[in-house]
Amino acid sequence: MTIHREGYTIIGITIALLAILNGICYLFAGDTLWLLWLVGVFSVVFFLLILQFFRYPKRSLTRNDRYVVCPADGKVVVIEKTFEAEYFKDERIQVSVFMSPLNVHANWYPVSGRVKVMRHHPGKKLVAWHPKASTENERTTLVIERDNQSEILVRQIAGALANRIVFYPMEGDVIRQCAEWGFIKFGSRVDIFLPLDADIAVELGQKVTGGVDVIAKLKS
């Protein structure tokens, strides 16, 4: 288990603020030992929560050209046929994975190919499971063109607690399935838009692991 690079600054700031808090408490609390203990326990618990949020576990990744691999840790909250209005402008199967603050928040490419579209949209901070979150919240849109020219769209969506979406690819990049492509800080969701003939390999409510579990199997 390692710490993701996106957490270095926040962890450093957290350590500094907690050190200041404990120092002030030590100077002014006097003999009030219960207050010193309370602040100390709070500091340890808060630091561990921040640390676990930015954990980056080592995994045996799943790679197969016919598979769409899960791009995020979390729980499957949507499996439905829907109209994708931003890019495809037609019906697709949408699979959405909700990432709670307790999940690993790195994101992985679900398929290999070329980055055809990479867009970032500023927006609101609706809760990630809200129906309008995918069109009104801060979000990114990534379209991957596979070698056979079929396309997969993946969307990072910030939730009510998320304060920043990080994404690494640029249009034209050649990318490999299960390589890391981004990070969402403090609560979020990832939507995957698939061809209508894709065989969905997950169920509603299922807990999934990014880079490991298979979301769907493609016909071609």
- Alpha carbon distances (Å) from 22 to 29, 46, 50, 207: 10, 13, 17, 38
Beta strands 151-158; 164-167: pairing state = unpaired
d(CA 7, CA 156): 18
CA 96, 143, 59, 218 torsion-angle sign: positive
Cβ(213)–Cβ(70) below 8 Å? yes
Which of these, 166, 91, 178, 165, lies nearest to 133 by C-alpha position? 165
Active site residues: 188
Distances (CA, A) of 48 to 11, 17, 45, 51, 54: 10, 14, 5, 5, 10
In whole angstroms, how large is the CA radius of gyration of the chain? 20
Both tokens of 188, joined, read 């979020």
CA 159 → CA 34, 39, 97, 153, 190, distances in Å? 37, 29, 12, 19, 10
d(CA 35, CA 194): 54
